[in-house]
């Protein structure tokens, strides 16, 4: 019997695994997707090779790309952008690591308290999470982002509409700032040489391909690759815990899709998690038992696995309350070079506490074309009244076509994009359920993702309109010659809160320690456990801080651990001891 089994090796799972491996527990991590052991060979800069949702190396599916991707039912125009594999969706992520605003936590009494999702606050105060934020920030590490031309234009626009610069970690009022991100800053020849190689080049090489996975600089040990996706940060640490803490390395099995969580009867009458069954690519099924099971399959697969395992769902909230930041996309076309396709992809942001935020988003050409042809408002000018969105002062709303589209795409480095991140409400109508029993793949009944795009709460819709208008103003103040608002359908990149922790037993799945209320010994450690949309902060840092706190709780509550063991001094994932072990073990 294992001490702990972690299901899923994406943004949250490896955090729990690393913290518990460091404390000497026997941890098994099961990941349903591939392990990219040699990214310099396995990944490319070809956008379709990487990002095609059915055949790309980044998709939700098995590692054998000849086999089909895992299907999902989307009963509305929408797309869920996730990755199966070691690193999970952080393989795509931009590494932006803002903390959630204080207003989303319990006990917040600021003058703007009513502006947040007051019915679904985190079940603890911001101050409770603060040491865990700091711990993760030191581990990844999180630093002030390296910036380039596109950021300077964003800042010019933000200043132009009268926003002040913010220099604190937590913006208390509308303001702009560089991102705090988990991408190592460029050093040596990084960003300067034609073919930057380690050790002359260290950190971000400004290649502009954050989306396709970070294997730069070439020749760097895995834990020294620039972007701190978990495959480059927490995973190397969890596999080498003996080398840098005297802990016990976690065991990782990739291509191992967990199909069932098992329970036994518990002493309090509540069932207790006892183990899992997973399937390997050759079709063999394996059972492993453990004292504690940690569910970290992401906001779609975690509720799906719960449902397919027929675990109890007494209040009906498993899978409900999906938040996604109700994203929108506004872009400006400029006469000057914006550097849109270069550098760390998104290094500037503006925050509007209580409403959400804006960030610039640099894209390579294929994704740029996708981003500006994805719309819930149809072809620009053709059916303006059909959508709840307004132009918000933009020149066009919806897809631009023909000559206008060609002109704007002619040079990707004349565009500046702004992503609208809405502080959206937890709404029980939005969520993940199972499609009709019998309609499944090898892993069970298919998940059905419902996002009632046009019927979001009044606060959510207000926030999105407010932010879209701010984005338009920033682009105009920065000197854009034309500004276009897409009104995206749900493009779900920030999948959150489908297994939410909460203050009330009536509308939450997990308690304040991220332990499920209905199954003892079953913890949740991915974005799904977030209590709300985290005020539109990009979610991964908050998930990782919560997961760190959860790991500490598992250690003290179930293994008699001393809370101070393992917490004396954070070890950074680029520490020499980790690097030496990564090189010595060929990780
Ligand atoms: C383009 C893009 C940019 C982004 N940029 C940012 C950013 O800058 N900052 C930020 O904070 N966030 C960003 N995100 C979001 C970020 O990637 C997610 O917040 C994060 O990855 C979520 O972590 P997770 O653990 O919830 O899920 P995931 O990272 O999706 O990991 C879940 C893992 O579990 C595995 N799994 C699922 N079910 C099973 C099962 N039954 N058995 C075994 N394994 C299973 C999956 O294969 C997957 O690897 C971005 C996302 C995208 C798509």
Q: At what angle do helices 458-478 and 149-160 cross, to 10 degrees?
A: 110
Question: What is the per-residue pLDDT for 383?
Answer: 63
Inter-CA distances, 302 with 85, 203, 338, 354, 459, Å: 15, 34, 40, 29, 28
Cis peptide preceding 199, ω within 30 of 0:
yes
Q: Which atom of ligand 1 lies at the shortest distance from residue 30's CA?
A: 43
Residues of the domain holding 534: 2-249+321-584
Report the alpha-carbon distance of residue 387 to residue 541 in Å, rounded.
33
Residue pair 221/582 in contact by the 8 Å Cβ criterion? yes
Ligand 1, atom 46, residue with closest C-alpha: 84
Whether residue 316 lies inside any domain: the answer is no
The mean per-residue pLDDT over the stretch 328-333 comes to: 97
In a domain, 245, yes or no: yes
pLDDT value of position 105: 98
Best CA proximity match to 298, nearest among 45, 60, 559: 60
Write down the pLDDT at residue 404.
Answer: 87
Nearest CA to ligand 1 atom 2: 93
Task: List the residue whose alpha carbon is closest to atom 20 of ligand 1.
Answer: 11
pLDDT tens, position by position, 211-268: 999 999 999 999 999 999 999 999 999 999 999 999 999 999 999 999 999 999 977 7
Asked, for residue 424, whether it belongs to a domain, the answer is yes
Residue 284 in any domain: the answer is: no
Ligand 1 pocket test target in 90, 180, 228, 442 with most atoms within 8 Å of CB: 90
pLDDT at 386: 46
CA–centroid distance, residue 82 to ligand 1 (Å): 6
Residue 278 falls within a domain, yes or no? Answer: no
Q: Looking at the domain assignment, is residue 426 inside a domain?
A: yes
- Judge whether 510 and 524 are in contact, CB under 8 Å: yes
The pLDDT of residue 548: 98
Mean pLDDT of the region 425-452 = 94
Query: What number is the average pLDDT over the span 517-522?
Result: 97
Q: Is residue 61 part of a domain?
A: yes
User: How far away, in angstroms, is 211 Cα from ligand 1 center?
Assistant: 13
pLDDT of residue 279: 97
| Chain segment 26-66, per-residue pLDDT in tens | 999 999 999 999 999 999 889 999 999 999 999 999 999 99
Q: pTM value?
A: 0.98
* Residue 405 vs residue 459, higher pLDDT: 459
CB 506 within 8 A of CB 359: no
The count of other CB atoms within 10 Å of the CB of residue 401 is: 13
Residues with CB under 6 A from ligand 1: 7-13, 30-33, 81-82, 84-85, 88-90, 92-96, 211, 257-258, 296-299, 301, 305, 493-494, 526-527, 538-541, 543
The full length of the chain comes to 587
Mean pLDDT, all residues of the chain: 95
Residue nearest to atom 4 of ligand 1 (CA): 93
For residue 49, what are its two tokens? 């090779």
Cβ-based neighbour number of residue 469 at 10 Å: 18
The rounded distance, in Å, linking the Cα atoms of 581 and 221 is 10
pLDDT of residue 388: 58
**How many domains does the structure of the chain reveal?**
1
CB 388 within 8 A of CB 398: no
Q: Check residue 369 and give its pLDDT.
A: 93
Q: 384-406 pLDDT, tens per residue?
A: 544 556 788 999 999 999 888 88
**Atom of ligand 1 minimally distant from the CA of 539:** 11
Residues with Cβ within 8 Å of 72's Cβ and at least 6 positions away in sequence, in order, are: 60, 80, 300, 446, 447, 448, 449
Give residue-wise pLDDT tens across range 169-190.
Answer: 888 899 999 999 999 999 999 9
| Residue of 191 and 3 predicted with greater confidence | 3
Probe target for ligand 1 pocket from 79, 209, 261, 297, with the most ligand atoms within 8 Å of CB: 297
pLDDT score of 319 more than 50 = yes
State the pLDDT at residue 151: 97
Residue nearest to atom 37 of ligand 1 (CA): 297
Atom of ligand 1 nearest to the CA of 211: 1
129 versus 392: the higher-pLDDT residue is: 129
The set of residues, in sequence order, having a beta carbon less than 8 Å from that of 475 and lying 6+ positions away, is: 157, 330, 331, 332, 416, 418, 483
| Domain-located, residue 487 | yes
Separation CA 448–CA 437 (nearest Å): 11
As a whole-number percent, the residues of the chain with pLDDT over 90 amount to 89
Please state the atom number of ligand 1 nearest to the C-alpha of residue 305: 41
Pocket test for ligand 1, best of 93, 343, 371, 442 (most atoms within 8 A of CB): 93
Whether residue 349 is predicted with pLDDT greater than 50 in this model: the reply is yes
Residue 561 or residue 27, greater confidence:
27
Tell me the per-residue pLDDT of 467-514, one tens digit each, with 9 for 90 and over: 999 999 999 999 999 999 999 999 999 999 999 999 999 999 999 999
Spacing, Cα 60 to ligand 1 middle (Å): 10
566: pLDDT strictly greater than 70: no
Angle at 299 between CA 259 and CA 271, to 5 degrees: 55
* Averaged pLDDT for residues 340-359: 96
């Amino acid at each position: 019997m294992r001490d702990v089994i972690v299901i899923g090796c994406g943004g949250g799972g490896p955090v729990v695994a690393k913290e518990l491996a460091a404390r000497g527990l026997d941890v098994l991590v099961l990941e349903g997707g591939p392990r990219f052991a040699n990214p310099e060979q396995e990944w490319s800069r070809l956008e379709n090779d990487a990002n095609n949702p059915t055949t790309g190396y980044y998709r939700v599916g098995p590692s054998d790309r000849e086999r089909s991707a895992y299907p999902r039912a989307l009963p509305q125009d929408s797309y869920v952008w996730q990755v199966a594999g070691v690193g999970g969706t952080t393989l795509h992520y931009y590494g932006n690591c803002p903390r959630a605003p204080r207003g989303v936590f319990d006990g917040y009494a600021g003058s703007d308290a009513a502006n947040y999702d007051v019915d679904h606050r985190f079940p603890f105060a911001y101050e409770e999470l603060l040491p865990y934020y700091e711990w993760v920030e030191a581990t990844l590490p999180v630093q002030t982002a390296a910036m380039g031309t596109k950021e300077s234009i964003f800042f010019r626009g933000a200043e132009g509409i009268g926003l002040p610069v913010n220099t604190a970690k937590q913006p208390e009022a509308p303001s702009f700032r560089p991102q705090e991100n988990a991408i190592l800053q460029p050093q040596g020849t990084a960003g300067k040489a034609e073919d930057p190689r380690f050790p002359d080049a260290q950190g971000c090489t400004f290649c502009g391909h954050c989306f396709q996975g970070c294997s730069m600089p070439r020749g760097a040990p895995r834990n020294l690759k620039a972007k701190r996706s978990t495959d480059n940060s927490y995973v190397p640490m969890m596999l080498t815990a003996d080398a840098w803490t005297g802990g016990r390395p976690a065991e990782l099995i990739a291509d191992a899709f967990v199909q069932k969580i098992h329970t036994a009867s518990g002493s309090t009458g509540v069932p207790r998690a006892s183990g899992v069954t997973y399937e390997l690519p050759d079709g063999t099924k394996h059972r492993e038992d453990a004292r504690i099971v940690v569910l970290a399959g992401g906001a779609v697969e975690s509720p799906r696995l719960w449902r397919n395992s027929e675990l109890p769902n007494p209040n009906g909230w498993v899978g409900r309350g999906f938040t996604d930041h109700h994203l929108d996309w506004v872009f400006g076309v400029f006469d000057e070079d914006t550097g849109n396709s270069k550098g760390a992809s998104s290094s500037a942001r503006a925050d509007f506490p209580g409403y959400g935020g804006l960030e610039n988003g640099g894209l390579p050409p294929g994704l740029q074309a996708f981003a500006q042809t994805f719309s819930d408002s149809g072809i620009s000018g053709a059916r303006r009244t059909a959508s709840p969105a307004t132009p918000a002062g933009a020149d066009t709303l919806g897809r631009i076509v023909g000559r206008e589209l060609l002109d704007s795409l002619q040079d990707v480095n004349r565009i500046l994009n702004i992503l609208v991140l809405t502080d959206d409400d937890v709404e029980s109508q939005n969520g993940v359920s199972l499609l009709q029993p019998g309609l499944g793949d090898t892993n069970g009944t298919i998940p059905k993702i419902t996002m009632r795009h046009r019927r979001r709460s009044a606060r959510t819709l207000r926030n999105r309109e407010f932010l879209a208008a701010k984005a338009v103003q920033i682009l105009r103040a920065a000197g854009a010659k034309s500004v276009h608002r897409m009104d995206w359908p749900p493009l779900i990149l920030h999948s959150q809160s489908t297994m939410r922790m909460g203050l009330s037993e009536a509308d939450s799945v997990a308690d304040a320690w991220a332990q499920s209320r209905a199954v003892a010994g079953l913890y949740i450690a991915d974005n799904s456990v977030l209590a709300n949309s985290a005020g539109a902060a990009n979610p991964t840092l908050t998930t990782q801080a919560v997961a760190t706190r959860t790991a500490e709780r598992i250690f003290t509550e179930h293994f008699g651990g001393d809370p101070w063991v393992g917490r004396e001094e954070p070890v950074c994932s680029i520490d020499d001891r980790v690097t030496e072990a990564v090189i010595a073990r060929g990780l």
